[in-house]
Amino acid sequence: MIRSFAFNVYFYVLTVLAALVGVVLVPIPTPVLLRALLHRWARAVVWGMRWIGGMTVEVRGRRFLPSKGPVLLANKHHSEVDGILLAAEIPGIAFVAMQELFRIPVIGTILYRLQMIRVDTCGGGKERENLAQFARRAHDSGRHIAIYPEGNLMAPGERERYRSGIYYMSRDLGLPVTPVATSVGLLWNRRDWRKRAGRAAIEFLPPIETGLDKQAFMRRLEDTIEGASDRLIAEFSGRPLAPSQLVLRSQGQTGIGEPPSAPLAQRLHEG
């Protein structure tokens, strides 16, 4: 508990300081310095996770991550730290972020200047056009582009309906998609204040090639990310491998099967 508290203090103080520096950098015509700040902040957070919070996150499958962009990444989304871990690995990364984040004072201004990709998670034809426009800008700049196909933070052992925006991005940009699995929610679950010391991993997986039809692509993407994430969760929790349960968090209801009585991360630490 003490390590968690100490890390939280470190994280929020570091984040406020980085945001203040970011505001100073916003008026500069090029976002290069702001992107460098994001990368260094993310690396400092990862350092604090390990040496203050006792959270060691292994990065696997770097051979599947091209050193130069443009690249499309589709990520499992357990917590705020998912994006931080990617930003620490990939300088200049462009995230597809929900439009609500852009309305937050200071943070929204910085996100706009970083040229992050704004999207309405409700989707629709108009939103696909917006996504395509801003994704093309990131593509033409040679940046890695990361998107969370579920559109929601999911506890370990849960999955949401995968949105098809990543399929249209891959098709329109002519880029394969690198799936990214994680078990980080075991340590830093969703928006939990309490962090748990331990080990976890993120894993870059073999790219999914272009040319698949929508249904085949979406099924392969979901099976790949969920299967690998389930494997990582089992490995780092020490519990038997179990498939994730479909929880339609955006609609406040459950889908296939019964959801866990409590999020897996909570049950693992209670048991």
Residue 34 falls inside a structural domain:
no
238 confidence band (pLDDT: 50, 70, 90): very high
The pTM assigned to this predicted structure is: 0.86
Mention every residue, 6+ apart, whose C-beta is less than 8 A from residue 87: 38, 39, 41, 42, 93
**pLDDT tens across 114-161, in order?**
888 877 655 555 666 767 777 888 888 899 999 999 988 999 999 999
Q: What letter represents residue 161's amino acid? A: R
Residue 11 falls inside a structural domain:
no
For residue 155, what pLDDT is reported? 92
Q: Assign residue 117 the CATH number of its domain.
A: 3.40.1130
- Please say whether the beta carbons of 117 and 131 come within 8 A: yes
For residue 121, which of 143, 91, 92, 101 has the smallest C-alpha distance?
101
Residue 157 falls inside a structural domain:
yes
Whether the pLDDT of residue 269 is over 80: the answer is no
Ramachandran angles phi, psi of 46, nearest 5°: -60, -40
Q: How far apart are CA 135 and CA 75, in angstroms?
A: 16
**Which sign, positive or negative, has the C-alpha torsion 140, 146, 147, 152?**
negative
* Mean pLDDT calculated for residue range 213-221: 96
Residue 150 falls inside a structural domain:
yes
Residue 20 falls inside a structural domain:
no
**pLDDT tens across 61-115, in order?**
999 998 887 999 999 999 989 999 999 999 999 998 777 777 788 888 888 888 8
In this structure, the strands spanning 245-248 and 253-254 are antiparallel
**pLDDT tens across 164-195, in order?**
889 999 999 999 999 999 999 999 998 788 99
Whether the pLDDT of residue 264 is over 90: the answer is no
Q: How many domains does the chain have?
A: 1
Ramachandran angles phi, psi of 244, nearest 5°: -70, 155
Virtual CA dihedral for 170, 173, 179, 182, nearest 10 degrees?
-110
Residue 113 falls inside a structural domain:
yes
Residue 33 falls inside a structural domain:
no
For residue 58, which of 244, 232, 269 has the smallest C-alpha distance?
232
Q: How far apart are CA 245 and CA 267, in angstroms?
A: 14
Residue 156 falls inside a structural domain:
yes
For residue 47, what pLDDT is reported? 98
- The residue range of the domain holding 204 is 56-270
Place of tokens 């003490």: 2
